Amino acid sequence: MKKLTPSFLKMLNNIKNLSLSLSFIFTIGWPMSIQAVPESVNAPEITSANGQPSLDLPLTPDVSSTAFSYQLEGRPDPFRPFITEKAKNDTNMDELVESEETLTGMQLFEPSQLKLVAIVFEDNAELAMVEDASGQGYAIRPGMKIGKKGIVASIDPNQVIIEETSLTRAGKQLTNNTVMHLKKKGEE
């Protein structure tokens, strides 16, 4: 005959304990869970015309409970808005929003840092020559980005127009035109 393993004996013991627990709950605990009226509530006894207790429920229940009160201890106020007036007023909606993109080439120079030295028209191509404070020269064309927010809008015979577009926090688009004039010999 086979010997019973310890794990099998442990499983049998668990099944026995479970069945005993369930039988105890059903025999002792069941009647308490089906009581219609808890002991703490005093329900009025209603008797019928023949003097026996009536099974009809009263039309208006006798509720003698205290009013509910919300305990704020460690809890947020559920009626306070998530965004306070202070948070709304701290941000200026007309403030300009700075872009996070990295600047390269001519975007590293603001138009005020450059001096227009020459304008060249060749067939359909327009080209302007600008110079920085150190004397280094650069060629710019229409549509080229210049400065943080500027684009070369047009190149005319005596001037270059740079259109700078900014966005505010409210989403309003502001446009500023900067004009670089070509200086004649001897003008500064």
pLDDT of residue 28: 75
Query: Are the C-beta atoms of 53 and 45 separated by less than 8 Å?
Result: yes
Q: Per-residue pLDDT for 63 more than 80?
A: no
In this structure, of 50-54, 93-97, 135-139, the range with the lowest mean pLDDT score is: 50-54
Rama region for 123: left / alpha / beta (φ>0; ψ in -120 to 50; rest): left
The tokens 């086979």 sit on which residue? 2
Q: Domain coordinates of the chain in residue numbers?
A: 105-181
- CATH topology (fold) of 105-181: SH3 type barrels. (2.30.30)
> Distance (Å, rounded) from C-alpha 10 to C-alpha 13?
5
Contact 140, 146 (CB under 8 A): yes
Residue 35 predicted with pLDDT over 70? no
Mean pLDDT score, 166-183: 88
Report the distance separating Cα 96 and Cα 167, nearest Å: 6
Per-residue pLDDT, 64:
61
Q: What is the pTM of this model?
A: 0.50
Distances from the Cα of 179 to the Cα of 133, 155, 167, angstroms: 18, 10, 21
Are 103 and 148 spatial neighbours (Cβ–Cβ below 8 Å)? yes
Q: Residue 128 and residue 120: Cα distance in Å, rounded?
A: 6
Closest CA to 147 of 121, 117, 177: 177
C-alpha 8, offset from chain centre: 56
